[in-house]
């Protein structure tokens, strides 16, 4: 929550008490250099013990509530018909308004099932923006992904409050071009991840639904980051300032024919689900659940996580929970902007993002600007960001790099895990890095997997820049940090 201080500042304040903690350590710069070298300059390949502040992702890394942990103790481990599932289905019905629930082990499993049923070779899939696993599944099924975002979506220094909006004219044009029968569905991603956690407005979602429905095309809502999008609607969309996050969420759901979500984000567990009110969609998806995930009442999740997800879905629409990371991110982004660090604006959900092309204008995209930036942030801080740029794009059929629209270093803020002092520390180290940015050069691949290469690819720094950056850091801060 944001609380106004007597000097006029807004402070992101925690609406919870910390009762269980996990010890962390700050490995000194020399150790960080050894660790990132062993990891092939890929922060995915670092070990937790070498990380001080883990900002890789908000996926499965959120602090769970006392009620979630308590619910896990009473789970029902039946293979079929387990009571835990019915608690999840009740939460989905009461909070999200869907009659049919299909649990699955996480978000990409839901994407796989949707691809299997709805995406046929030659189909077109329209969306506000892709997510890495989304695009991979829909393309593997033979579909083509079209991202139909508005003019500000890729502007990293924008003030547009709804950069996740889908462009309605482009939607109409693509329907006219391909014909509704060739379009699997329109996918709206809440708090659009890869453009910086940017929300869409309810007005836009309703307009998308109206156009899609008029053409008989289903709307699929990726609700992985739903509570943050609902919170942004409350904060930024005039018509909803007096509406609760819970009611806004329900209204958003009313626009979706099918919902799917990774439960690892807004719901603070490890799992996923698909939900719908439309019997024919449920019937089409249902047979595949036991083939790929598990029986209908567990779908590959542990019954403990199902219990925790039922509670997490109820809790995520509480404004104190929905705002917990969004408000800290707003503080983070504002502090970066004050220090002239090129952060993505306006502040979004899930993470503070740094625009690597503005931070390191001397490193060309062909040398993986965001990859270099991400490794450099780890080297100077022990905070672990994630590359969201060209390394996160796979090569095209001819083997050429596909340059990403944006080169971002994503510093995720998992829910209820870190505090203002962690953020202040990271901003300070980013400011130091910005002053010393000329020391950072590009990267080149030394090992490159054929699909989703960002997970396991290994790279090396051009001109050994990592060691030189660490030398400069030690000269300013000493060998201990």
Binding of ligand F0G by 65 (CB under 6 A):
no
Residues 261-300 vs ligand F0G: string with x where CB under 6 A?
Answer: -x-x-------x----------------------------
d(CA 140, CA 115): 8
Q: Which stretch binds ligand F0G (CB under 6 A): 105-113, 288-296, 326-334, 439-447?
A: 105-113
Asked about 79 being catalytic, the answer comes back as yes
Asked about 388 being catalytic, the answer comes back as yes
Q: How far is the CB of 263 from ligand F0G (least distance, A)?
A: 7
Which entry of 32, 234, 265, 410 is annotated as an active-site residue? Answer: 265
Q: How far is the CB of 349 from ligand F0G (least distance, A)?
A: 10
Cβ-based nearer residue to ligand F0G, 131 or 231:
131
Cβ-based nearer residue to ligand F0G, 165 or 367:
165
d(CA 481, CA 479): 6
Asked about 131 being catalytic, the answer comes back as yes
Binding of ligand F0G by 147 (CB under 6 A):
no
Task: State how far the alpha carbon of 420 is from the alpha carbons of 49, 91, 338, 424, 427, in Å.
Answer: 22, 32, 16, 6, 10
Q: Cis ω on the peptide bond leading into residue 231 (within 30° of 0)?
A: no
Asked about 222 being catalytic, the answer comes back as yes
d(CA 206, CA 44): 38
Write the CB contacts of 217 (distance below 8 Å, at least 6 apart in sequence): 175, 180, 183, 185, 186
Inter-residue contact 381 to 364 (CB < 8 Å)? no
Helices (H) and strands (E) in the chain, counts: 19, 16
Asked about 276 being catalytic, the answer comes back as no
Inter-residue contact 411 to 352 (CB < 8 Å)? yes
Asked about 279 being catalytic, the answer comes back as no
Q: How far is the CB of 270 from ligand F0G (least distance, A)?
A: 8
**Among candidate residues 220, 263, 259, the one with its CA nearest the CA of residue 88:** 263
d(CA 75, CA 60): 19
Q: Which residue in 54, 147, 167, 189 binds ligand F0G (CB under 6 A)?
A: 189
Tokens 């899939």 sit at which residue? 125
Binding of ligand F0G by 415 (CB under 6 A):
no
Inter-residue contact 98 to 270 (CB < 8 Å)? no
Cβ-based nearer residue to ligand F0G, 101 or 367:
101
**Residue numbers annotated as active site:** 79, 131-132, 222, 265, 388, 454
- Site for ligand F0G, rule CB under 6 A: 57, 59, 106-108, 131, 133-134, 189, 193, 222, 224-225, 262, 264, 272
């Amino acid at each position: 929550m944001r609380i106004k201080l007597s000097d006029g500042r807004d402070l992101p304040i925690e609406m919870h008490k910390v009762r269980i903690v996990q010890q962390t350590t700050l490995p000194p710069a020399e150790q960080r250099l050894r660790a990132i070298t062993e990891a092939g300059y890929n922060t995915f390949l670092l070990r937790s013990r070498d990380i001080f502040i883990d900002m890789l992702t908000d996926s499965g890394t959120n602090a769970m509530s006392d009620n979630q942990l308590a619910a896990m103790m009473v789970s029902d481990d039946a293979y079929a018909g387990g009571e835990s599932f019915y608690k999840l289905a009740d939460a989905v019905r009461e909070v999200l308004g869907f009659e049919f629930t299909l649990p699955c082990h996480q978000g990409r499993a839901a994407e796989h099932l949707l691809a299997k049923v709805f995406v046929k070779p030659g189909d077109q899939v329209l969306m506000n923006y892709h997510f890495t696993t989304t695009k991979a599944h829909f393309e593997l099924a033979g579909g083509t992904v079209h991202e139909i975002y508005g003019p500000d979506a890729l502007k990293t220094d924008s003030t547009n409050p709804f950069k996740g909006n889908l462009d309605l004219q482009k939607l109409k044009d693509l329907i006219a071009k391909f014909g509704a029968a060739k379009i699997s569905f329109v996918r709206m991603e809440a708090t659009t991840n890869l453009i910086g956690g940017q929300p869409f407005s309810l007005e836009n979602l309703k307009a998308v639904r109206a156009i899609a429905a008029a053409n008989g095309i289903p709307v699929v809502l990726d609700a992985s980051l739903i509570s943050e999008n609902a919170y942004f609607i409350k904060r930024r969309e005039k018509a909803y300032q007096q509406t609760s996050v819970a009611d806004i969420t329900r209204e958003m759901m009313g626009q979706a024919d099918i919902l799917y979500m990774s439960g690892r984000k807004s719901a603070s567990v490890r799992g996923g689900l698909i939900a719908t009110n439309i019997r024919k969609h449920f019937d089409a998806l249902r047979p595949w659940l036991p083939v790929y995930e598990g029986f209908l009442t567990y779908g590959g999740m542990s019954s403990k996580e199902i219990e925790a997800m039922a509670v997490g879905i109820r809790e995520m629409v509480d404004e104190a929970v929905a705002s917990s990371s969004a408000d800290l991110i707003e503080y983070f982004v504002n502090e970066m902007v004050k220090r002239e660090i090129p952060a993505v604006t306006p502040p979004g959900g899930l993470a503070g993002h740094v625009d690597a092309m503005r931070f390191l204008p001397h490193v060309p995209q062909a040398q993986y600007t965001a990859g270099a930036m991400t490794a450099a942030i780890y080297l100077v801080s022990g905070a672990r960001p994630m590359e969201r740029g060209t390394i996160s794009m796979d090569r095209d059929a001819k083997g050429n790099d596909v340059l990403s629209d944006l080169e971002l270093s994503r510093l995720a803020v998992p829910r209820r895990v870190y505090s203002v002092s962690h953020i202040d520390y990271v901003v300070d180290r980013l400011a130091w890095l910005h002053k010393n940015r000329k020391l950072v050069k590009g990267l080149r691949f030394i090992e490159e997997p054929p699909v989703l290469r960002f997970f396991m690819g290994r790279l090396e720094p051009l001109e050994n820049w990592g060691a030189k950056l660490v030398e400069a850091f030690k000269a300013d801060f000493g060998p201990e940090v």
